[in-house]
Each structure stands twice: as C-alpha cells, then as structure tokens.
Amino acid sequence: MELSETPIPIWYVGQHLPTPAETLVEQTVNAAVANNYDFVTTYLTNENLQTRIKDIISKAAAAGDDHPDVESLSADEVRIFPGSYTTQIIAYTSPWIELDSEDPLVAEVSKSVLLHEIAYASYCGITRLVVLGPSRPQNASQFSEVLNSALAISPFMQLLVQLPIVEEDYDPKQATESALKNQLSSWDTWNTIRTVCSYNHNVTIALQISTRLPPAHVLSRWFTEPVRLLHISSAVFVLNAKGYPVLSQDHQTKLLSKYMKIQPTPYIVLADTLNSLCVPSPSASRALASGSPRRDDPLSFISYIRHLQKNQPPLDVFEKVGQGYQDYLQSPLQPLADNLESLTYEVFERDPVKYDQYEEAIRLALLDRDPDTPLAVAVVGAGRGPLVQRALNAEASSGRKIVMYAIEKNPNAFVTLQKRNKESWGGRVTLVKTDMRVWSPPTPIDILISELLGSFGDNELSPECLDGAQRVLNKNGGITIPQSYTAHFTPIMAPKIHAELKLRKEPDAQETPYVVLLHAVDILAQDQYIHNAWEFSHPLQKTDFSGNGHNVRRSKATFKIPYRGVVHGIAGYFESVLYGNVELSTRPDTMPTKSADMTSWFPIYFPLKTPLYVPDSSEMDVTFWRETDQRKVWYEWLAEAYLRLDNDQRIRLGLSELHSSKQNGCLM
Amino acid sequence: MELSETPIPIWYVGQHLPTPAETLVEQTVNAAVANNYDFVTTYLTNENLQTRIKDIISKAAAAGDDHPDVESLSADEVRIFPGSYTTQIIAYTSPWIELDSEDPLVAEVSKSVLLHEIAYASYCGITRLVVLGPSRPQNASQFSEVLNSALAISPFMQLLVQLPIVEEDYDPKQATESALKNQLSSWDTWNTIRTVCSYNHNVTIALQISTRLPPAHVLSRWFTEPVRLLHISSAVFVLNAKGYPVLSQDHQTKLLSKYMKIQPTPYIVLADTLNSLCVPSPSASRALASGSPRRDDPLSFISYIRHLQKNQPPLDVFEKVGQGYQDYLQSPLQPLADNLESLTYEVFERDPVKYDQYEEAIRLALLDRDPDTPLAVAVVGAGRGPLVQRALNAEASSGRKIVMYAIEKNPNAFVTLQKRNKESWGGRVTLVKTDMRVWSPPTPIDILISELLGSFGDNELSPECLDGAQRVLNKNGGITIPQSYTAHFTPIMAPKIHAELKLRKEPDAQETPYVVLLHAVDILAQDQYIHNAWEFSHPLQKTDFSGNGHNVRRSKATFKIPYRGVVHGIAGYFESVLYGNVELSTRPDTMPTKSADMTSWFPIYFPLKTPLYVPDSSEMDVTFWRETDQRKVWYEWLAEAYLRLDNDQRIRLGLSELHSSKQNGCLM
Ligand SMILES: C[S@@+](CC[C@H](N)C(=O)[O-])C[C@H]1O[C@@H](n2cnc3c(N)ncnc32)[C@H](O)[C@@H]1O
Ligand SMILES: C[S@@+](CC[C@H](N)C(=O)[O-])C[C@H]1O[C@@H](n2cnc3c(N)ncnc32)[C@H](O)[C@@H]1O
C-alpha cells in the first residue's frame, strides 16, 4: 500500500464579512470566490432591526408588557435577498439577541427575532445559519428550549451554534487539576444544547478557535462532536519571521489536520482578515523592528490555508481502508449460521497482516515438532483457502512435511476450494464439505487451524465451534491455532453513533452490538484504560460437551474517569495468541506492537439505550455477561456511574438498564 | 359523607413454616386455615438438595471446573408436590443459594439451582416465589442479572425479593445525618434490582419488618414500591402487661395501616410463631416476675393481627372517592375542544366543597357592591348549571339583586340548562348557547363567573377563554371569579406510574401530562417543597388579543433533595383566588386550610422518559414552559440533577431530554 497516494483533501473555506453597511450582493460573493474563497459568511440583518427591537423592548418595559408583538423583518432591516448566490452564503443571526437573558421581556423578544430570522433565511434559500451560543452557561437550558422550537420552522435549516473551543483562555503553566476540568465548560454548554434538542441532526457547532489551544482532552472531546464550522480569526495567526501570517504547529497538527477529518468535513471561516489582528512572533518582531514589512494583507490568510490544504500529512492505513466506514454501523457477521459471499471473503483476504501472522504462527508450530514425522494439519472453516495456502507456505519455509486437510461447511466457498486444489495445490489437500463439529478425519490432527474470530473475539462462536472440533485432535500433543483469545472493553463517548441509533425504529436497535470503525469517539477512562474481560483457550481438558455452560463468562471492571463526559456505549476489542508470541490485536494500544496495521477487524460497539452523564472524577462500573442457552449465544451489559469524593467515598449517580442482545443472539 | 361507613379491609395473612423435615401436604394447609390463616409459606426444597449441591461444588472446585452440570430437582429433594392446595402456598427458594457470590463457581451453581426451583414451582402451580435478596449490596447488579434471566422461565411467576426494611437496625438516638442517609441502603439494592429488570411487573418485594422502625423518609420510600408481602417475625412483637404479643403503636399506624393501603394489598406473613421470639415490655417483665403467665402461644399472633384488621382507622374523603383511582392515569379533559358528557358533569357536581367556595366568593363579591344597583352576573361555561344555582343562592343570602346570564357552548349540556331554567329558576336566567369568546351581552357584565380550571390551573385553557370573554366586562369595575390562579410543581418518585407508562406503546406516552390521584409516590424535595410556577389573573389591562404570546410562561426552580431517590416525573397542582380570601387549592400542604376535602381535581403528572437517579444531598432544577402557537397550548419540561458538595460546589449529574406535549396539546 502506497501511503503517498493521498489525494489533496477538499476544504471549503469562507470569508467572514462582519458588518458592511451595505446589502450583500452577487458581486460580493464573486469577489470572494475570485480571491480563492468558496463562500462568504455574514449577518442576516442590519442595525435598523436592532433599533426597532430596542424600541419595542423599552416601550414594552415601560408598559409592563412581557410579550409585545414583534413584526417580521422588513426590507430595510435585512442584508441578504433571495438570489442564486445565497447557496454560497452561511448567514449569522443578529449577534445582539439574547435568548438566555434573565429578563423575560428580552428573552421573549429575542426568541421572536430568532424565529423571524430563521423563517426569512429559509425563504432566501439559505440552509445554514450560525446562532451565537448562550452567554450565560447556567441558562443553557433556556437557550436550548428556544433553539429546539426554532428547529420546527424548517426541516432543511441547519443551525450552527457558535461556541468557543474553551470558555477561558488556557494557560498550560497554570494547569491545575481544577483548571484542566474547567476547560470543558464550553463543551458542557454544548452538551446541554444537544441533549435538550434530542441529538437533532440539524443542530451542529460553529467552533471558535482560540489563540492558545486547550489541552488534549478538550481537543479530543470536540473531535467527537458535530463541528461543522471552524471560525478562525486572524488573531489566531502569528506573523513569522518573513512577515507572513501562519498558524502554530499545534494549530496545524492538533487542530486543523485532525478536525478536518470530522465527517462531514467542517467549513473553515476566516474572520478579521481585512484588518489583521495577527500578532508578530518574537523573531517577526525583531525583523519588523529592523524594517522588514508585514505581509498579513487580506489575501495572505486564504493563501496560507490553501497551502496547508495541499500539504496535509498522508493518510494512514486505517484512514485509507476505512474511507466511508468511519462510525458506520454494521451488524456482526454470523459465519456459522449464514453462508458468506465471495466478496466478503475477498475483503478479508485483502489484509495481508492477519495472514502473515498466521503463516508465522504455523511455521513456528511446525518447527517445534519432530522433523521426521509428517504432521496432520487441518484448516477448519477454510473459506476460499487463504489459510490453506499459508499453511503450505509454512511447510515449505520450515522444511517440515504435512498432510493437509481443509474443512468448510459453506458449499459455495467449497467450490473455490476445489478449484484451487486442482489448479494451485496439485490436488494434495483433502477437502471435506462438512460442519467441523461432526467431521471425522482418518487420522488424528496435530495442528487444527481456524479463524472464527469476531470483533469481540468469541462473538462469532469460535468457542462453540472449536469445542465441537477438538475431538479430532491428536490426544498426544495436538494443538489449535489460535491457542487462545480474549475480549476487551472500555466505555466511550460516541455522540455521532448515538444520534444515528436514536433515529432507528427497530425496538432492539439499542440492544445489538455493532461492528464499527470507531472514529468520532472519545475513550473516557483514565490513561485510555481498556479492560481484559475473559479468555477462551483450546483445547479444553474436557470431553463431555453436551451443555454449553462452560462457555458462559462474566466480567466486571471499574473505569476511573478523570474528566466529565457522556458515556454512550462500550467499545469492544480482542486479542488472540495464535502460537507462542505471535499474536493478533485490535486494541488501539497493543495493535501497533502485536499486529500493526491489521485492518481485518473493526471494533465492536455495545450501545447504551440512555447515555449516562459522568462528572469529573467519576467512576464507571461496567459488567459484561456472555450468556448461552441450547440454541444461542448472546451478551448482556450494564453500566453504573459513581462519583469518587475527596474522602474516597463512592456515591452512586446512575445505573443503566440491563441490555441484552438475546433477540439478536448468534445461533449455534 | 359518613366516614364511619368504612368496611373491614381484606387482609391475607399467612403462616411461615420454616423447615419442618416433612413434605408439605394438604393437611398442613388445612390446619393453618383452621387457625384463621389464609395461606402458608415455606421452603420449596429440603436439605437433600443442599447436600447434593455442596457435593457438586466441592467436586467441581477440585477439578477446576467453573460450570458443572446441575441436574434438575428430584422427588426426595422437594417439599411440595402438585395439588389443589398449592394455590394457597407462597414458596421460598432455597435460602442457602448465593446468586451474588464472589466465587464464580458458587454463583453459577446457585443460578442453576434457582432456575430449577422456578421451573419446578411453576410446574406445581405455584405463582409466587420468594427469593432472598443479595447479601452483598455491592453485587446487587450480578444478583439482578440472574433474576432477570429467571423471569424468562415463566410469564406467570411472580418473584418476590426478600429485603430488610433497613439493612442495619435504626437507633433514633444516634440519628446523625449520615446514619439517616444509610437507612436507604436496602432500598438502594432494590432500586438496582428493578432497574436491571426494567421495572418488570413480576419482580416485587417481600419486605422484612424490623423491631425498630426506620425513620419517616425510609417508610415513605417503601410505600412507593411494589411491596407484595410483609414478613413479620414474632420478634417484632412485644409482650404487653397482660402477657399478650402486640405491635408497637408505630408498627400499627406508620407501618401496617399505611402499607396495607399499597395496591394490590400486600400479604402479611407471620414467622417464628411456633417458638415465640417476642420480648416482654418493661411492664410485662414486672407482671411476669410477679407470676402472671405469658400468652404468646402460636395462635396469639394471628388473633392479634385479625383484631387489628377489624379495627383499622376509617378512610378519609380521598380514600373513599379515590377507590380504584389511586395512581390510575387519565388524560386531561379538553372541555374547550370536546363536549363533556352528562356523567362527567355529575362527577364534578358530587363534590360540594368547590361549589361552597364559589358561592361564598360570589356572596362576598356581591356584598362589596353598591346595594342599590342590580348587577349583571354571568356564568360562562355553565355546564349543567351548578354555578348558576350557587350564584342565585348567593343573591338570596347577600340580599343583592342580580340579572343572571348563563353561557354554554356544549349543546347537550344546554338542554339541561333549559330544563332547569324552566323547572327551578322560573325562567329568570338568560341562557345563551355560544362560545364565550364571541358572546355579546345586551349590557356590560359586572361579575363574570367561570370554572375552566384544570389540574395544573391553566391547562384547560382558562386564560385563553377568559381573554376572549373579558370584552363583556363592565369597564367600570367589572370583575372575574376566579380572580387569578397559579400552577405549582415538584419532582416526585413514582415507580408504579413509571412501570405502567413503560408498557405503553404510543410513542408520546411519556410526553403527555396525566391527571392522576397520586398515591404510591414520594415527594423528594426537602420539606416537601412545592414551587409556585406562574400566575394568570383577570381581567388583563389589554384590548388587543390577536396573538397569544402574553399567555406564554416559563418557570425554573431548584429543589434540594436531602435523601437519594429516583425522579420519575413532576407532580403539578394549582391554587386559585376566587374572590378576596376565598381560595381553592389542590396542593397537599395548603389544601387543608384553603379548601379542605375538595376532591374535584386530582393532581397532574408530567413523566420523565428516563428516570433520573439523585444521590443524597443533591439538587434538581426543573424548568417548565407554557407554550402556544396560533392553534394550541402545550407544556415543555426539563429536569437537571446536580450534586451539592460540602464546599458548596454544584456538579452536574444528569439532564433529561426536553419533554413536550405539543403532539397532545390543547386546541384553542
Ligand atoms: C471468518 S471465515 C475465515 C475464512 C478463512 N479461513 C480466512 O481466514 O479467510 C470463517 C469460515 O469458517 C466457516 N465456518 C464457520 N463455522 C463452521 C463450522 N462449524 N464448520 C465448518 N465451517 C465453518 C465459515 O463458513 C467461513 O468460511
Ligand atoms: C369544567 S366545566 C364547568 C361546568 C360548571 N360550571 C361546573 O362548575 O360544574 C367547563 C364548562 O365550560 C364550557 N366551556 C369551555 N370553554 C367554553 C367556551 N369557550 N365557551 C363556552 N363554554 C365553554 C364547557 O363546555 C364546560 O361545560
């Protein structure tokens, strides 16, 4: 895979035209486009409206009337009129309205103005409207209720709530624990807004970028949210030694490069470019002092952003393979109950990492054996045969002799196996079309190879299949590859996935695990802790497999959560020991060392029906059960939130229902 | 209403037969019935089962097997066999099973035993099974998961979880604040169980009564829960001076008389009656010392309980009127949009208190007027005419002269008005069949009487109707009765109502207010605080009623919550000033002084879709909105939970969605 193939990403960049007295006309937009912008942003109304509203408020206040009538907008109060160019405009609502005012009169009149502006913008064909966020965080719920009723005006209007990335500027030198926690207060306001608005897809964020970036946990928090616009003032730029405005290294890598991967890609809006607020760096100050010119003219900002756009770092393997799959929910496969299609096998086979690991594991297993006796090797669940090929490769590289069997119950895949045996393997592989649980080989098998692993390890019923197959093993030292596998989990914040699941009508949509390339999510546990829940290893010292009780598991773990957040669900991963020290892992922390760049599996996601809010310094207990009856295997999960006080006391804060995937369990 | 009419309540009392070696046979049950019991309770299994299970566990432990097979029950292990008498048995599961054991082997085997016992009990036709609650509160979720899977075995099996009313005995002399809080730990365990089991109706409580009763907040907490059995040991009784076992005054009034009003009525189970554990009172000790006999023979306990049963205090007005209505959810009336039926009017008219208050208000209003000018008085929304009659009574008692109008838009009720006018009022009332908002009287009206009040005051659109009618008032001092009304609310715990709403399929079942005689509920706010939200008063100094914006309201209140609980919804009440100091109130605290025994209105209940758990020393902010558009009026409500720390900091714990009854709003 060539990492350099990365195409130039598509960035939409707009110019913010704050308050020109005149009306916005087609020429204004054309001029911006000529200057390499894609669109413009500006206020919908002018000061005539403000004057009228001030008047209404003062008259009503004098009359003791809390609910004066507010007429809709008139021609001399607006700055935009319908026209084809309005599609290239993102409008801002009047910045002086105060939806969250403590004065009921001001709040009520502000609401009327907002509703009029939305209705008018919608009439003009504008579909994105920026609304300044509440200025009083304690009144965020009041603000949100108004926003929620505003959503009813037009199903096509996207309301972008403008919020600062941090409420107060962050000084890393004064980063006390409580200062670090307060960095999330602006996010808290957003959380209130979207909760009150029931995760409505039409409420998104216009994020105002600060000069000094907030700490990592704040940056990763916003990354999970529907940020649709990055509002960047020229004040965020610094003048470099040559006099050009540039963004700090952190702004480039931790902010722009990262946030421009949010789906859909946010717009960038450059503000205050006409009268630059850009501050010289120390080296720039010296250069300026010695007479060299400032070069932060209006066009320098957009040129710089376009330059960054062209020079984005290349995509990593997961970004390439995962294009379009980020946060996309898939139902887990049931390769035991269903028969997979050729295309599905083809997707597996595209990832060399898994097969390389298997080949290495088989090679080491062969080398550990007596070189003189030929070994019986079987791939059970051979699919289209990639592991058969790898076993044969390992035979060659190890210099051992093997007798090869391939078992597959999917009659369609079996056709491919037959074809390959004839064309590539010279007919030397014994193919058997059967369920491995009833297969009777002519000789005991020394090495039983399988790949029946799901995103949570055991969720595609590898334990049940291998229990049924282990009869065939040579009692004298027969082994399985993999030798064992473990399931892992951690609670995560995943607002995007939650919003998606909220729209689903199926009653059990929230009680089903999903396979999903987790992207806009935040691991909330301290040090990104992921809990190793349970293990299955093979073969078992057991011969009676009539019940399945021995494949039941339970695991409870406590996760310390340093910074407030919302738990929307539990992320699951797996690890597997194939042989010796050859392993597979999908855990973000151990994958790089155990099976770097392996893309065969995405994580699994277990939703919570109702998200649980967790404050700073809280703890979450998560319990998982692997349950079984005579026909099915399923999972149950439960989350309990606690607060850990300074005196070490633990207070319960909340408790989810018990979730169960029994309705969608895996058939044995 | 004669309060002495109270019939003897129906109490089912059972005898607990702990562990007789023998099998329970029909004669055992017959003997108990002959002794005045209604049923017996006993363990389903005997020590043979325990011996077998111990054996299985020790063998499996030795073999390192966590999941040994456990065969179902055999004939020599059970104490009950199918028979017609099993309907008179409540069985207890084996007391030695430990579903919440920390040892996975013990937990797993215990689960198998429980499932076998439930299946066998179900086979025997037993429908109530008592399961001992978890002995380790921290493992309550593990216990609950097992219970939840046990529920799947039989849809007709009720599992009664036996829990102590308090975990530790309560000593009122050592009632520190933290001791008071810990009194709820047994309830906490129950809360985990029923949350994990999704409020399943088949999981209920067998409450073990303690010798010393817990404080009031614990008693009122259990009262809200599905307590189906009161387990009372002879140790809870005291010997009185005559040597008889009796219950303390508190046990009689705060426990039995109260809890026996839970719906359905709990069973009483008397335990340890064969070898009395009853402790003599000080006076009894003296009597015993001077040679008088103990009389706590086995039958003394049931005789005493039957005596109490016959001597229960009489029902109060609400208990009589409300029979069968407790916690029963009704949709609010829409007397403006719909036409009420005669029977509905008849129910209103049965409550004299409301009409007495109106008559008194009208009388005072008449007395405040110039005695020489006849007054124009109108009842708008006269229904079947009771307020017309009361106005005529007030005319007589005040000695003033009135000209009487009655306006009603319901054509059917109008027929009754016509009949009454002819038969009782001598045709002196001018009847007009019209909407009051378009009525034009021949002369200005001096006193405009209406009763358009709903359980939340303004929720049946009294404001909108009276706005429309106030044109008819005499500009010179015309008044309305009522003069004003206010809405009131407080968050409550209401698990029974929540469980009921959870079963409803309509998508907006949780976003509709309900009229309901609140019974099994707990006001969680400190000092039972109820917030006065907003007021409407008439007439308004306003003539242009084209918009309805002036009838919009918003109110936010903070409720301090001293003891942990779950908020399931918000209770609403109203007060109204009819005239001067004549008022109506449905608030539990002010009703006794303002309008005692008024049963015309039940409270209103606004559900929360997801209950919010609130810990000790928490706070809840509740915001209510009265919203309106051109066609409808509706409410929105939102709850936010906070913890108040010792340093006075407030930490957010959770936030409900915004609830809105717009879909079910009142049509104007
Ligand atoms: C995840 S695919 C792996 C295929 C192939 N070994 C690979 O690694 O690309 C699992 C395969 O096992 C097969 N399989 C699952 N359960 C089986 C069973 N009980 N007996 C035989 N084949 C089974 C499925 O049909 C499927 O082809
Ligand atoms: C709650 S009942 C009260 C009836 C009676 N006054 C009593 O107290 O028993 C309200 C009555 O007002 C009538 N009503 C409601 N809105 C009305 C309107 N806009 N015009 C006329 N009648 C109305 C209804 O039909 C109903 O009979």
Contacts of B112 in chain A (CB under 8 A): 549
Q: What's the one-letter identity of residue B276?
A: S
A23-27, A429-433, B96-100, B301-305: least confidently modelled range:
A23-27
Tell me how far apart the alpha carbons of residues B637 and A139 are, in angstroms, rounded to a whole number.
15
Residues A302 and A407 placed together within one structural domain of the fold: no
3-state secondary structure B372-436: CCCEEEEEECCCCCHHHHHHHHHHHHHCCCEEEEEEECCHHHHHHHHHHHHHCCCCCCEEEECCH
B542: nearest CA partner in chain A: A65
Question: Would the pLDDT of A181 be above 80?
Answer: no
Q: Which domain holds residue A627?
A: 484-667
Residues A354 and A502 placed together within one structural domain of the fold: no
Q: Ligand 1 pocket test: which of A410, A416, A459, A485 has the largest number of ligand atoms within 8 Å of its C-beta? A: A410
What lies within 8 Å, CB to CB, of A35 at 6+ separation is A15, A298, A299, A302
B571 within some domain: yes
Tell me how far apart the alpha carbons of residues A393 and A416 are, in angstroms, rounded to a whole number.
19
Q: What is the number of CB-based contacts under 8 A between chain A and chain B?
A: 124
Of B197, B190, B193, the closest CA to residue B224 belongs to B190
Mutate which: B196, B552, B614, vs A, most A CBs within 10 A:
B196
What lies within 8 Å, CB to CB, of A544 at 6+ separation is none
Residues B653 and B585 placed together within one structural domain of the fold: yes
Q: How far apart, in Å, are the Cα atoms of B25 and each of B30, B31, B42, B81?
A: 9, 10, 12, 8
What lies within 8 Å, CB to CB, of B289 at 6+ separation is none
A173 within some domain: yes
What lies within 8 Å, CB to CB, of A479 at 6+ separation is A365, A446, A447, A448, A473, A539, A579
Residues B57 and B194 placed together within one structural domain of the fold: yes
The backbone torsions φ and ψ at residue A578, rounded to the nearest 5 degrees and listed phi first, read -75, -55
What per-residue confidence (pLDDT) applies to A25?
Answer: 87
Q: How far apart, in Å, are the Cα atoms of A173 and each of A170, A176, A357, B584?
A: 9, 9, 46, 62
- Give the β-pairing of A238-239 and A279-280: parallel
Question: Is residue A231 within 8 Å of A208, Cβ to Cβ?
Answer: yes
End-to-end CA distance of chain A: 38
| Domain finish residue from A394, A427, A451 | A451
Average confidence (pLDDT) per 10 residues, chain B, 668 residues:
68 88 86 96 95 97 90 95 92 96 95 96 95 94 96 93 86 74 92 96 97 94 98 96 95 97 96 94 90 94 98 92 92 88 93 97 96 96 98 97 97 97 97 97 98 97 97 96 98 98 92 96 98 97 86 97 97 98 98 96 97 96 95 96 89 94 91
Task: Report the CATH number at residue B123.
Answer: 3.20.20.150
pLDDT-based confidence at residue A21 (cuts at 50, 70, 90):
low
Of B512, B385, B499, B401, the closest CA to residue B459 belongs to B512
Query: Ligand 2 centre and the CA of B381: distance in Å?
Result: 3
Give the closest residue (by CA) to ligand 2 atom 25. B410
A328 within some domain: no
Tell me how far apart the alpha carbons of residues A127 and A121 are, in angstroms, rounded to a whole number.
7
What per-residue confidence (pLDDT) applies to B5?
Answer: 62
Q: What is the dihedral of CA B242, B246, B248, B253, to 10 degrees?
A: -130
Residues B539 and B630 placed together within one structural domain of the fold: yes
Q: What is the dihedral of CA B406, B407, B412, B418, to 10 degrees?
A: 30
B629: nearest CA partner in chain A: A149
Task: Report the CATH number at residue B652.
Answer: 2.70.160.11
- Domain count for chain A: 3
CA angle, A616 as apex, A614 and A619 as ends, to 5°?
55
| pTM, two decimal places | 0.93
Question: Is residue A482 within 8 Å of A541, Cβ to Cβ?
Answer: no
Which residues, listed in sequence order, are joined to residue A407 by a DSSP beta bridge? A380, A432
A507: nearest CA partner in chain B: B505
**Element at B523 (helix H, strand E):** strand B522-523
Q: Does B561 touch chain A (CB under 8 A)?
A: no
Give the pLDDT mean for A230-247: 96
Tell me how far apart the alpha carbons of residues B381 and B388 are, in angstroms, rounded to a whole number.
10
Put simply, the answer to whether A66 touches B550 (Cβ < 8 Å) is yes
Residues B606 and B642 placed together within one structural domain of the fold: yes
Residues A393 and A542 placed together within one structural domain of the fold: no
Atom of ligand 2 nearest to the CA of B349: 9
Q: Does A138 touch chain B (CB under 8 A)?
A: no
What per-residue confidence (pLDDT) applies to B620?
Answer: 98
A336 within some domain: no
B472 within some domain: no
CA angle, A419 as apex, A417 and A424 as ends, to 5°?
90
Put simply, the answer to whether A623 touches B145 (Cβ < 8 Å) is yes
Structure-block tokens of residue B323: 């029979």
Q: Ligand 2 pocket test: which of B334, B338, B408 has the largest number of ligand atoms within 8 Å of its C-beta? A: B408
Query: Ligand 1 centre and the CA of A379: distance in Å?
Result: 9
Task: Report the CATH number at residue B429.
Answer: 3.40.50.150
Which residues of A have a catalytic role annotated?
451, 460
Question: Would the pLDDT of A177 be above 90?
Answer: no
Catalytic site residue from B77, B359, B395, B451? B451
Q: What's the one-letter identity of residue B74?
A: S
Q: Does B74 touch chain A (CB under 8 A)?
A: no
Structure-block tokens of residue A621: 């207990």
Convert the pLDDT of each residue in A438-464 to its tens digit. 999 999 999 999 999 999 999 999 999
A392 within some domain: yes
The backbone torsions φ and ψ at residue A626, rounded to the nearest 5 degrees and listed phi first, read -105, 115
Residues B249 and B103 placed together within one structural domain of the fold: yes
Distance from CA of residue A599 to its chain's centroid?
16
Of B416, B436, B447, B259, the closest CA to residue B348 belongs to B416
What lies within 8 Å, CB to CB, of B350 at 6+ separation is none
Question: Would the pLDDT of A2 be above 50?
Answer: no
Residues A210 and A269 placed together within one structural domain of the fold: yes
Atom of ligand 1 nearest to the CA of A358: 8
How far off is chain B from A184, nearest CA to CA, in Å? 12
Of B112, B122, B90, B97, the closest CA to residue B24 belongs to B90
Contacts of A188 in chain B (CB under 8 A): 652
A654: nearest CA partner in chain B: B613
Q: Does B552 touch chain A (CB under 8 A)?
A: yes
| Domain finish residue from B451, B470, B496 | B451
A435 within some domain: yes
Of B156, B162, B262, B265, the closest CA to residue B495 belongs to B262
Put simply, the answer to whether B653 touches A613 (Cβ < 8 Å) is yes
Residues A53 and A190 placed together within one structural domain of the fold: yes
Quickly list DSSP for A220-282.
Answer: HHHHTS-EEEEEEEGGG-EE-TTS-EE--HHIIIIIIIHHTTSSSPPEEEEES-SS--PEEPH
What per-residue confidence (pLDDT) applies to B21?
Answer: 65
Tell me how far apart the alpha carbons of residues A339 and A435 are, in angstroms, rounded to a whole number.
12
Put simply, the answer to whether B196 touches A148 (Cβ < 8 Å) is no
Tell me how far apart the alpha carbons of residues A173 and A381 are, in angstroms, rounded to a whole number.
58
Residues A413 and A541 placed together within one structural domain of the fold: no
A634 within some domain: yes
Contacts of B655 in chain A (CB under 8 A): 141, 191-192, 195-196, 613
What per-residue confidence (pLDDT) applies to A1?
Answer: 38
Place of tokens 């009304």: B485
Interface of A with B in 209-238 (CB under 8 A): none
Structure-block tokens of residue A440: 């009777």
What per-residue confidence (pLDDT) applies to A323?
Answer: 86
Convert the pLDDT of each residue in A343-398 to its tens digit. 999 999 999 999 999 999 999 999 999 999 999 999 999 999 999 999 999 999 99
Residues B423 and B539 placed together within one structural domain of the fold: no
